[in-house]
Amino acid sequence: MTEKRISRWYFGGLASCGAACCTHPLDLLKVHLQTQQEVKMRMTGMALHVVRNDGFLALYNGLSASLCRQMSYSLTRFAIYETVRDMMGGANQGPMPFYQKVLLGAFGGFTGGFVGTPADMVNVRMQNDVKLPPELRRNYTHALDGLFRVWREEGVRRLFSGATMASSRGALVTVGQLSCYDQAKQIVLSTGFLSDNIFTHFLASFIAGGCATFLCQPLDVLKTRLMNSKGEYTGVMHCLKETAKLGPLAFYKGLVPAGIRLIPHTVLTFVFLEQLRKYFGIVVVS
């Protein structure tokens, strides 16, 4: 008989919140770079511009919305993926095939993306507010204020603006993160050179972060533009056409800062998740 610990359903949300607190300035800079109509600044220049004009704390604009997003989007996708994976793994007495992990990750990510769309939209708006002229700023005081004001001033439908794009991105990033992490960790452990320790978690999550960045960047650019729009796009296809006019590389605008943000976020999320599982997980005897 052997004992192992499995995650509680909410551990993914908590781990993602911890990672978001560390990587939020990078996420903010990514949003600023993606919403430029023309390439005027790179990552370092944008960071200096934000700090110079609005102070160091401006790098944490929208943190409450980011945490709200993690507790809706990430909690949902991790809960679906890990709960179903552990149930199927327990029944089969072995790891799921990779294609099943991909399908499960896509379903969990799509669902989480839809649930987290309102918080994601407020997050994008709060992060991008400092770029707007003072008279055009929305000035949400926190995430709940932003959600309430969008509902009151623009209607419920506006809360789910970009939901298709956010859900599609959620599916891709979850495949890249959760499915690829599980597979990478499984392959690393099967070599016998490394045990289930923090270095293995770091290596597998680094690979997963790279996969997620490559898969979701085009949709991430479109999602950000849709959520931050003031009515200039009539829909997803219109946004796609307008972005395409800027050239193919426009869909990978901000790729480096996206990777710089998403890879550390992925690494920190899984390191936190593995520690939560190790010390507070449910003990299962097999």
pLDDT tens digit sequence for 143-168: 889 899 999 999 888 889 878 878 98
**Cα–Cα distance measured from residue 222 to residue 29, given in angstroms and rounded to the nearest whole number:** 16
Report the predicted TM-score, pTM, of the whole model to 2 decimal places. 0.81
Max mean pLDDT among 24-33, 80-89, 109-118, 152-161 falls in 109-118
* pLDDT at res. 142: 86
Give the model's confidence band at 239: pLDDT under 50 very low, under 70 low, under 90 confident, else very high: confident
Give the residue with greater pLDDT, 54 vs 17: 17
* CA neighbours closer than 13 Å in the CB half-sphere of residue 76: 20
Q: Are strands 282-285 and 3-6 parallel, antiparallel or unpaired?
A: antiparallel
Q: Identify the residue whose tokens are 């219109």.
A: 238
Query: Given CA atoms 198, 200, 201, 205 in this order, what sign does their dihedral have?
Result: positive
Instruction: Please name every residue paired with 4 in a beta bridge, in sequence order, or none if there are none.
Output: 284
Percent of the chain with pLDDT over 70: 94
Which residues have C-beta within 8 Å of that of residue 41, sequence separation ≥ 6?
A: 32, 33, 49
**Cα–Cα distance measured from residue 65 to residue 17, given in angstroms and rounded to the nearest whole number:** 11
Give the model's confidence band at 36: pLDDT under 50 very low, under 70 low, under 90 confident, else very high: low
**Cα–Cα distance measured from residue 70 to residue 279, given in angstroms and rounded to the nearest whole number:** 22
**Cα–Cα distance measured from residue 58 to residue 81, given in angstroms and rounded to the nearest whole number:** 34
The stretch 52-78 carries a mean pLDDT of 88
Q: Which domains does the chain have, with CATH numbers?
A: 3-285 (1.50.40.10)
Q: What is the mean pLDDT of the chain?
A: 86
Give the model's confidence band at 210: pLDDT under 50 very low, under 70 low, under 90 confident, else very high: very high
- Is the pLDDT at 109 greater than 60? The verdict is yes
> Dihedral (C-alpha) 248, 228, 121, 245: value to the nearest 10 degrees?
-20
CB 130 within 8 A of CB 54: yes
